[in-house]
Amino acid sequence: MKTRRIFLQKAGISALALNLSPFSPLLGANEELNMNAMDEKPLRVAIMGLGSYGSRVARAMKDCKRAKLVGVISGTPSKIEAWQEEYNIPAKNCYNYETYSQIKDNPDIDAVYVITPNGLHKEHAIGVANAGKHVICEKPMAVNASEAKEMVDACKAAGVKLLIGYRMHFEAKTQEVIKMRMNGEFGKILFFQGLSGFIIGDPTQWRLNYELSGGGAMMDIGIYSINGARYMIGEEPIWVTAQETKNNPEKFKEGVDETIQFQLGFPGGAVASCLSTYSMNNLDKFFLNGLNGFAEMQPSTGYGPIEGRTHKGPLNHPHVTHQTTQMDEMAAIILDGKKPLVPVDGEEGLKDMVIIDAIYKAVKEGRKISLV
């Protein structure tokens, strides 16, 4: 059997990986003071998977107040050496995919952020949980709902927290729209549109390898529209329909979706119409329409500044690097028991996986799939 290191290297794990300090405008004075008082106790994090997104998270953590990068897990010794030098990581906090279970004996690591390919999330997350460390797992949390449920159960059994890398749940402009919806400022919600896509490059990268990715664009970028529909509308969908278009079967092999249009129905009567694709650029837009108002965000989920407006005018919160905010907020969840505005726990990730399973089933069977 191939080792994980060989498996990851053959799959091109080092290829392009496509997937706050608390933002004080949204915090009360007392909450800011409380969080500042706890700055001296950081969440000590090891990153597992040192590809492009792992590097992005590491850079963002340099500005964190509550989270600190203290360890790494990788199958590539040269990457470990480079990270040791750049982030001042001691050798005792460095592991590979065969030795990371030994973190159970390392009191200097509190949590591990799993940023390996989707197909390895279950194995790695459960391994971390069994070592007694909290798990932060990049989305999608698994390749299907069954695996996601195993992860949730394993973390509960181990008595550790499982959080999913939903950075947008902490982004200031996104939170402002969610709060407006919660306060009834849009009136009855009628419609949501989510457009998520880009033209993917290197055909040999792991995201186009079904065994590692579990799918195609839906597993990478489409999940943003699924999750966005849920937190923007504020309900859980009760049915899904979906249609797939594949124009390049050589690049997008069996099981790897190129473009899927999907629709979600919600109990309050709202409908979501969404597009997930690896073949079109300039698709990063959310639109929420209510009886009394609207919200439009474009870009809506990209790494850079989010731009948005509502019927009341533009959203003007300053941009803070999403992963910085995410890691500080997750530290507060783990260390302080803080309750986020929108959940980021394993159950939240599992809900998205149930919907993704249903979308793939709707494509295959050509019919509406009930989610209740």
Looking up residue 52, the CATH number of its domain turns out to be 3.40.50.720
Tell me: the pLDDT tens digits for 95-152? 999 999 999 999 999 999 999 999 999 999 999 999 999 999 999 999 999 999 999 9
Q: What is the pTM of this model?
A: 0.90
pLDDT at 21: 38
Q: Please tell me which residue in 97, 224, 278, 360 is annotated as part of the active site.
A: 224
Q: With helix as H, strand as E and coil as C, how does the chain read?
A: CCCHHHHHHHCCCCCCCCCCCCCHHHCCHHHHHHHHHCCCCCEEEEEECCCHHHHHHHHHHCCCCCEEEEEEECCCHHHHHHHHHHHCCCHHHEECCCCHHHHHHCCCCCEEEECCCHHHHHHHHHHHHHCCCEEEECCCCCCCHHHHHHHHHHHHHHCCCEEECCHHHHCHHHHHHHHHHHCCCCCCEEEEEEEEECCCCCCCCHHHCHHHHCCCHHHHHHHHHHHHHHHHHCCCCCEEEEEEECCCCCCCCCCCCCEEEEEEECCCCCEEEEEEECCCCCEEEEEEEECCCEEEECCCCCCCCCCEEECCEECCCCCCCHHHHHHHHHHHHHHHCCCCCCCCEHHHHHHHHHHHHHHHHHHHHCCCEECC
Calculate mean pLDDT across residues 49-54.
98
Same domain, 176 and 219: yes
Calculate mean pLDDT across residues 264-270.
98
Tell me: the pLDDT tens digits for 152-165? 999 999 999 999 99
Q: Please tell me which residue in 139, 161, 173, 285 is annotated as part of the active site.
A: 139
Whether 334 is covered by a domain: the verdict is no
Same domain, 124 and 200: no
Same domain, 39 and 161: yes
Kindly indicate the confidence band of residue 36, based on its pLDDT and cuts at 50, 70 and 90. Answer: low
Same domain, 215 and 361: yes
Whether 327 is covered by a domain: the verdict is no
Indicate the residue among 104, 139, 167 that finishes a domain: 167
Same domain, 127 and 24: yes
Looking up residue 297, the CATH number of its domain turns out to be 3.30.360.10
Q: Residue 23 pLDDT more than 80?
A: no
Indicate the residue among 123, 139, 167 that finishes a domain: 167
Whether 253 is covered by a domain: the verdict is yes
Domain span holding position 279: 168-317+346-370
Residues of the chain above pLDDT 90, percent: 89
Whether 110 is covered by a domain: the verdict is yes
Q: 224 an active-site residue?
A: yes
Same domain, 294 and 172: yes
Calculate mean pLDDT across residues 77-99.
98
Same domain, 366 and 248: yes
Between 24-33, 125-134, 210-219, 226-235, the lowest mean confidence (pLDDT) is in 24-33
Whether 326 is covered by a domain: the verdict is no
Q: 166 an active-site residue?
A: no
Whether 184 is covered by a domain: the verdict is yes
Calculate mean pLDDT across residues 87-99.
98
Q: Residue 339 pLDDT more than 70?
A: yes
Whether 149 is covered by a domain: the verdict is yes
Indicate the residue among 142, 167, 192 that finishes a domain: 167
Tell me: the pLDDT tens digits for 181-194? 999 999 999 999 99
Same domain, 261 and 244: yes
Q: Please count the structural domains in the chain.
A: 2
Same domain, 172 and 294: yes
Q: Residue 57 pLDDT more than 50?
A: yes
